[in-house]
Amino acid sequence: MNSPVSSSHTPPAAPPRLVPPRRPLEGYFFDDYAVGQHFYHATPRTVTAGDVALYIALTGARQPLHCAETVAHQLGYPYCPLDDLLVFHIAFGKTVPDISYNAVANLGYADCRFLLPVYAGDTLRCETQIMGLKENSSGKTGVVYVRSHAYNQRDENVLTWVRWVMIHKRELVNPEAQKVITVAAAIMPLVPDFPAVVSPDEWAVPAFIQPSKLTPQMTGSNRFWDDYQLLETIKHPTGITLDESDHTLATKLYQNTARVHVDLHHMEQSRFGRRLIYGGHIISICRALSYDGLENVLSIAAINSGRHSNPVFAGDTIYALSSVAAKWPISHVLGALQLTLTGLKNLDPNLAVTDAVDVVENNPQAVVLSLNYTVLMPRRPCL
């Protein structure tokens, strides 16, 4: 997932502007961004038990750590931490008005790390720095590389991630509009370099966690870290069909304002002719589906890379496959699995006569997600 042209990981420093200029109502375009720009995103959001219930209703997520106070307490948490992806989506939503309101596509994710648990009652806010810019050869769009951070109400950094998005150039959409900022990107393309995989020393493992307290009775499976084989592939058994109302509820819950997800009248003019489902919702659906086969995953340490290969629309049924890409022991009670999570639409891998890898390779049009992420899992208890 690394970009071909590399540069320094840290962009040139730019003094943060404490009072941001007013965002244009039509949003920013590619030529409005400059490397080093810093955004303080608006509309902080307190997460609550209401969000947790909605997340379960929207995805069917079942991980006990995020659903059961009893389990969270036994594992050492003071309260039930929110599902990592719920935190991600709410944080991501904060960045959309400033970063991807006019995005053509979200091209990729990298170096996403979950740094601290988030609990119901915490308030999230976000900041983003422009890390790189590259005009596309068409001259109509460009790619913007950004790093975002989410903070809680104590200004503790709970999440950081990088993404790159393809964004229209302003003059092509609205030739008469004044540019918000004179762009330097066309002159000096800068494509930052991100790690292909978040290194183990960057995972944030809570010091208090007692992994051995996660039992098969809680999760439904006696397969722990030691039981997963390198390159093993798991075909998750069922699928979930997405409909218009549920994906738009998800998008609005996350206060994600990208009109491609919620504005049918607008999208009828697009090449798709309909609303696109937010890619993050696909990640959540695939992860929820992956519960059956990966029941003892505790939490996500990092998302190493990810891309949405094909669009998903209402009516599509999503299936998922997981492969074990790498394994690391962390202690005698905890390990990490690097997993490749593949989302498929309208193709049940369980019905395929070929193996999982062939299913993916033979059906590229069905692949909607390729996510490489690292999870924590208790090691097999000594019985």
Binders in 264-303 for a second copy, by CB under 8 A: 264-266, 275, 292-293, 295
Taking CB under 8 A as the rule, does residue 177 contact a second copy?
A: no
Taking CB under 8 A as the rule, does residue 361 contact a second copy?
A: no
Taking CB under 8 A as the rule, does residue 315 contact a second copy?
A: yes
Task: Report which residue type is found at 380.
Answer: R
Report in angstroms the alpha-carbon separations of 258 from 98, 105, 277, 333: 10, 11, 11, 43
The single-letter DSSP state of residue 363 is -
Taking CB under 8 A as the rule, does residue 250 contact a second copy?
A: yes
Judged by CB, which is closer to a second copy: 212, or 215? 215
Which residues are CB-neighbours of 355 under 8 A, at least 6 positions away?
233
Element (H, E) at 351: none
Look at residue 202 and give its three-state secondary structure: helix
Total of chain residues touching a second copy, rule CB under 8 A = 91
Compute the least distance from the CB of residue 23 to a second copy, in Å.
Answer: 6
Judged by CB, which is closer to a second copy: 193, or 348? 348
Look at residue 340 and give its three-state secondary structure: strand
Taking CB under 8 A as the rule, does residue 218 contact a second copy?
A: yes
- How many C-beta neighbours within 10 Å does residue 83 have? 25
Interhelix angle 49-59/279-289, rounded to 10 degrees, is 80
Judged by CB, which is closer to a second copy: 139, or 216? 216
Taking CB under 8 A as the rule, does residue 330 contact a second copy?
A: no
The single-letter DSSP state of residue 89 is H
Of 32, 83, 135, 246, the one binding a second copy by CB under 8 A: 246
Of 153, 354, 362, 365, the one binding a second copy by CB under 8 A: 153
Judged by CB, which is closer to a second copy: 9, or 252? 252
Residue appearing with tokens 């995953």: 297
**Footprint on residues 35-54 left by a second copy (CB under 8 A):** 40-46, 48-54
